[in-house]
């Protein structure tokens, strides 16, 4: 395998500098955080660069961190370089009050449904998406169910002592 | 005809004269309808723009028998030709990702069963492998090989359904009946291993709940002896069958480039000519110890997808034979190993629970979901029945996943379907759909 995580990190730092941060290698996968406004630029650079060639969008989803004030929602991209068989992951954080992130549909046709799903569950507004409507939930739903403020179990239950047995 | 009658007028007039026939009644009522609405035109007014419209709207699904699942496509048809298709998904959405946020790891396995239910054991194993990656558990070789036997059986049961259903959709039922007996045989092996058949919930983190019985191995041997013959017979029926070829060649093709852009994986991508197989690219569960080929197609049409799946079944048979041989090769104490040593996640034996303090504590902690996981973020994927089945698991050190996302292959490649069936006939759209191996449970999570 010629393309190592170090080379990828070096090339990305050269191009974007301080805009990328929090470099990590979790379970062998290079992970970093990009500034919100440059997500498509990072994707495009990773796609176009002759050495990097990350041309397969494996997965796209969001995570909600309610305690992370001002940057509650994270959009996570998993990319795959099929030639050298390297995967990377990067995230962009956005404010829950104004969850606007640029769409990746211009680059990847596969992002269409994945962004709709992310919108459906987290309410992230993908700017420029051709058809950003709910996909798995009913159209009439007026909230975003995977956000952490919607607990799965009824929180008014008193018969269950969460200190002892809860999760 | 009666629909456009005004209800009031109809009943009044009928009261007066019971001998009115339907036609007369219709005309009279039509006149009075126009009168009451102050319409000067003699014609019935149609919705705006409907006379200029050149196409017919047709709802294909969600419960159409030919779609093999809950799929809805709203088609704009010009005669028999599809001009535009809009897919609706989500009819059987069951909020697995939300549920998983309140479940201990072992309780998430039954959720994975219900993704691609034609090959549930692959999903189960994929989930266990993800957990093992997070917990840094090293499984013994024998466990890996047993898992491979089960996963490849699952792949066969998945592909045989898809390939034979394609036969049914083109009008040949016989092949379906032939291979279906062998799915039954595979299910009997599952039953022998874990006790259930369709939604298997098989195995645990670290291995299997019990060792394979001799009966299971006997059934496996019987399957290996009999299935190749039937598969050959099945291929003889369809592969060079002129009707089948004419129905499927050139039907729903996709280029390799478009397929990659649409996030295709698995047999559908390989049919388009890209040799991407996770078993080879990122071997898990000791797939690197096996010698097998990755069949690829060229045109990415329905016929190629059919051929690729059939070839994969042959390869799976080879893998199972090798794995079975390797399992037979273990001697002595090694031949009894069926799980790794992970006491915090692997349920102890029942007789130990009743007699040993430590086992009792672990049993209680596991069942109540009281075990804290290490903090971490892990993405792990396996080659599922219809593509790359990925699990993205984030743990914040709690007892349940902080976030779990399933990368469901059919959800991702289903968005290419409208493009694939554009300008084709309705009957081709049906074959394209069945050749894509769409599973509603996986699509809707």
Task: Tell me, yes or no, if B141 comes closer than 8 A to chain A by beta carbon.
Answer: no
Q: Taking a C-beta distance cutoff of 8 angstroms, is the pair B281, B387 a contact? A: no
Q: Taking a C-beta distance cutoff of 8 angstroms, is the pair B339, B200 a contact? A: no
CB contact under 8 A, B405 and A61: yes
Task: Tell me, yes or no, if B283 comes closer than 8 A to chain A by beta carbon.
Answer: no
C-alpha to C-alpha distances, B415 to A111, A133, B86, B436, nearest whole angstrom: 10, 14, 9, 11
- The structural domains of chain B, ordered by start, are 2-36 (no CATH), 56-87 (no CATH), 88-444 (1.10.645.10)
Residue A105 falls inside a structural domain:
yes
- Rg for chain A, CA atoms, rounded: 18
Q: Taking a C-beta distance cutoff of 8 angstroms, is the pair B85, B418 a contact? A: yes
Alpha-carbon torsion (A134, A138, A141, A146), positive or negative: negative
Residue A107's Cα: distance from chain center in Å? 16
Q: Taking a C-beta distance cutoff of 8 angstroms, is the pair A32, A16 a contact? A: no
CB contact under 8 A, B377 and A27: yes
Q: Taking a C-beta distance cutoff of 8 angstroms, is the pair A60, A115 a contact? A: yes
Q: What is the token pair recorded at B414?
A: 């289903």
Which strand (E) or helix (H) includes residue A77?
A: strand A73-81
CB count within 10 Å of CB B228 equals 15
- Count, residues in chain B: 445
CB contact under 8 A, A110 and B398: no
Residue B411 CA to residue B27 CA, distance in Å, equals 52
pLDDT attached to residue B308: 93
pLDDT attached to residue A156: 63
Strand bridging mode B387-395 / B376-384: antiparallel
- The DSSP-derived string for A27-71 is TTEEEEEE-GGGHHHHHHHHHH-TTT---EEEEEEEEE-TTSTT-
The three-class DSSP label of residue B75 is strand
Alpha-carbon torsion (B120, B122, B126, B128), positive or negative: positive
CB contact under 8 A, B263 and A57: yes
Residue B281 CA to residue B38 CA, distance in Å, equals 73
Task: Tell me, yes or no, if A87 comes closer than 8 A to chain B by beta carbon.
Answer: yes
pLDDT attached to residue B104: 87
Residue A42 falls inside a structural domain:
yes
Instruction: Count up the domains in chain A and report the number.
Output: 1
Residue B227 CA to residue B152 CA, distance in Å, equals 13
Residue A158 falls inside a structural domain:
no
Task: Tell me, yes or no, if B397 comes closer than 8 A to chain A by beta carbon.
Answer: no
pLDDT attached to residue B220: 92
Contacts of B405 in chain A (CB under 8 A): 59, 61
- Express each pLDDT in A109-145 by its tens digit: 999 999 999 999 998 999 888 988 888 888 888 888 8
Residue B175 CA to residue B234 CA, distance in Å, equals 5
Residue A111 distance to chain B (closest CA, Å) = 8
Nearest residue on chain B to A57, alpha-carbon basis: B263
**Which residues 20-39 on chain B approach chain A with CB closer than 8 angstroms?**
none
CB contact under 8 A, A59 and B282: no
Contacts of A89 in chain B (CB under 8 A): 377, 379
Look up residue B89 and give its DSSP letter.
-
Q: What is the token pair recorded at B416?
A: 């290419």
Burial A115-131 (b: 16+ CB within 10 A, else e): bbbbbbbbbbebeebee
Residue A163 falls inside a structural domain:
no
Token pair 């069951």 is found at B94
The three-class DSSP label of residue B216 is helix
Domain containing A60 equals: 5-110
Task: Compute the half-sphere exposure of residue B320: CA atoms within 13 Å on the CB side of its CA.
Answer: 25
CB contact under 8 A, B379 and A87: yes
Strand bridging mode B81-88 / B72-78: antiparallel
pLDDT attached to residue B28: 46
Token pair 């419960």 is found at B63
Mean pLDDT, consecutive 10-residue stretches, chain B (445 aa), reads: 39 42 47 50 72 82 78 88 89 89 89 90 92 91 92 92 90 88 92 90 89 91 93 91 90 90 91 90 89 90 92 93 91 86 88 92 88 90 90 89 91 90 89 89 86
Task: Compute the half-sphere exposure of residue A92: CA atoms within 13 Å on the CB side of its CA.
Answer: 22
Q: What is the mean pLDDT of residues A19-46?
A: 88
Backbone φ/ψ region at B84: left (φ over 0), alpha (ψ -120 to 50), beta: beta
Residue A146 falls inside a structural domain:
no
Residue A26 falls inside a structural domain:
yes
**Which residues 25-64 on chain A approach chain B with CB closer than 8 angstroms?**
26-27, 29, 31, 55-59, 61, 63-64
- The DSSP-derived string for B367-387 is HTT-PPPPPEEEEEEEEETTE
Task: Compute the half-sphere exposure of residue B201: CA atoms within 13 Å on the CB side of its CA.
Answer: 9
**Which residues 253-282 on chain B approach chain A with CB closer than 8 angstroms?**
258, 260-263, 274, 276, 281-282
The pLDDT-based confidence of A162 (bands split at 50, 70, 90) is low
CB contact under 8 A, A61 and B445: no
- Rg for chain B, CA atoms, rounded: 28
pLDDT attached to residue B40: 56
Task: Tell me, yes or no, if B93 comes closer than 8 A to chain A by beta carbon.
Answer: yes
Residue A160: phi and psi, rounded to 5, are -120, 120
Alpha-carbon torsion (B137, B142, B145, B150), positive or negative: negative
Look up residue B305 and give its DSSP letter.
H
Residue B6: phi and psi, rounded to 5, are -70, 125
- Express each pLDDT in B306-364 by its tens digit: 999 999 999 999 999 999 999 999 888 888 888 888 888 888 888 999 999 999 999 99
Task: Tell me, yes or no, if B375 comes closer than 8 A to chain A by beta carbon.
Answer: no
pLDDT attached to residue A161: 63
pLDDT attached to residue B227: 92
How many CB pairs below 8 Å do chains A and B form together? Answer: 98
Residue B346 CA to residue B434 CA, distance in Å, equals 39
CB contact under 8 A, A78 and B390: yes
Question: Which of A117, A130, A128 is closest to A43 using CA atoms?
Answer: A128
Q: Taking a C-beta distance cutoff of 8 angstroms, is the pair B309, B163 a contact? A: yes
Question: Which of B162, B179, B177 is closest to B386 using CA atoms?
Answer: B162
pLDDT attached to residue A26: 85
Candidates B86, B366, B367, B379: best to mutate against A (most CBs of A within 10 A) is B379
Residue A81 falls inside a structural domain:
yes
CB contact under 8 A, B407 and A110: no
Q: What is the mean pLDDT of residues A143-163?
A: 73
Nearest residue on chain B to A164, alpha-carbon basis: B370
* CATH code, domain with A39: 3.30.460.80
Nearest residue on chain B to A166, alpha-carbon basis: B370
Residue A132 falls inside a structural domain:
no
Q: Taking a C-beta distance cutoff of 8 angstroms, is the pair A8, A1 a contact? A: no
């Amino acid at each position: 395998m010629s393309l190592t995580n170090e080379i990828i990190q070096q090339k990305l730092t050269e191009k974007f500098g301080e805009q990328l941060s929090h470099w990590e290698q979790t379970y062998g996968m290079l992970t970093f955080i990009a500034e919100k406004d440059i997500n498509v630029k990072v994707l495009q650079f990773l796609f176009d660069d002759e050495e990097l060639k990350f041309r397969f969008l494996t997965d796209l989803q969001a995570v909600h961190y309610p305690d992370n004030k001002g940057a509650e929602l994270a959009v996570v991209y998993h990319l795959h370089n099929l030639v050298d068989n390297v995967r990377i992951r990067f995230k962009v954080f956005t404010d829950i009050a104004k969850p606007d992130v640029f769409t990746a549909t211009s680059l990847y046709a596969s992002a269409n449904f994945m962004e709709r799903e992310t919108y459906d569950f987290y309410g992230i507004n993908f700017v420029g998406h051709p058809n950003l409507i709910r996909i798995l939930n009913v159209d009439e739903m007026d909230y975003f169910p995977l956000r952490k403020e919607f607990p799965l179990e009824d929180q008014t239950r008193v018969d269950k002592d969460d200190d002892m047995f809860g999760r | 005809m009666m629909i456009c009658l005004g209800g009031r007028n109809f009943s009044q007039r009928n009261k007066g004269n019971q001998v009115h026939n339907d036609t007369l009644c219709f005309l009279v009522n039509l006149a009075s309808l126009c009168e009451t609405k102050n319409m000067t035109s003699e014609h019935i007014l149609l919705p705006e723009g409907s006379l200029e419209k050149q196409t017919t709207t047709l709802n294909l699904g969600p419960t159409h028998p030919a779609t093999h699942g809950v799929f809805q496509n709203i088609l704009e048809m010009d005669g028999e030709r599809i001009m535009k298709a809009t897919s609706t998904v989500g009819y059987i959405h069951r909020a697995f990702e939300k549920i998983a946020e309140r479940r201990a790891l072992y309780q998430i396995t039954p959720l994975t069963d219900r993704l691609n239910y034609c090959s549930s054991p692959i999903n189960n194993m994929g989930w266990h492998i993800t957990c093992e990656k997070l917990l840094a558990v090293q499984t013994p070789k024998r466990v890996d090989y047993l898992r491979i036997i089960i996963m490849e059986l699952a792949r066969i049961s998945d592909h045989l359904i898809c390939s034979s259903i394609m036969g049914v959709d083109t009008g040949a039922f016989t092949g379906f009946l032939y291979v279906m007996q062998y799915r039954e045989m595979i299910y009997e092996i599952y039953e022998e291993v874990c006790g259930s058949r369709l939604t298997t919930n098989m195995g645990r983190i670290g291995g299997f709940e019990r060792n394979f019985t001799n009966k299971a191995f006997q059934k496996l041997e019987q399957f290996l002896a009999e299935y190749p013959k039937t598969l050959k017979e099945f291929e003889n029926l369809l592969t060079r069958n002129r009707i089948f070829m004419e129905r499927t060649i050139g039907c729903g093709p996709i280029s390799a480039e478009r397929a990659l852009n649409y996030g295709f994986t698995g047999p559908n991508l390989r049919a388009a000519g890209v040799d991407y197989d996770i078993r080879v690219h990122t071997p898990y569960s000791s797939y690197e110890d096996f010698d097998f080929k990755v069949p690829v197609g060229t045109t990415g049409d329905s016929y190629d997808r059919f051929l690729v799946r059939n070839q994969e079944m042959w390869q799976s048979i080879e893998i199972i034979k090798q794995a079975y041989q390797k399992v037979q090769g273990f001697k002595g104490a090694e031949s009894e190993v069926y799980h790794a040593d992970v006491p915090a996640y692997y349920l102890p034996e029942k007789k130990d629970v009743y007699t040993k303090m430590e086992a009792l504590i672990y049993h209680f902690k596991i069942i109540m979901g009281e075990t804290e996981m290490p903090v971490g973020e892990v993405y792990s994927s396996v080659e599922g029945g219809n593509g790359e089945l990925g699990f993205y698991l984030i743990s914040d050190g709690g007892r349940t996943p902080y976030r779990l996302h399933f990368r469901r292959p059919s959800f991702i490649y289903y968005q290419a379907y409208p493009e694939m069936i554009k300008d084709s006939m309705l009957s081709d759209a049906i074959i394209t759909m069945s050749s894509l191996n769409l599973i509603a449970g996986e699509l809707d999570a």
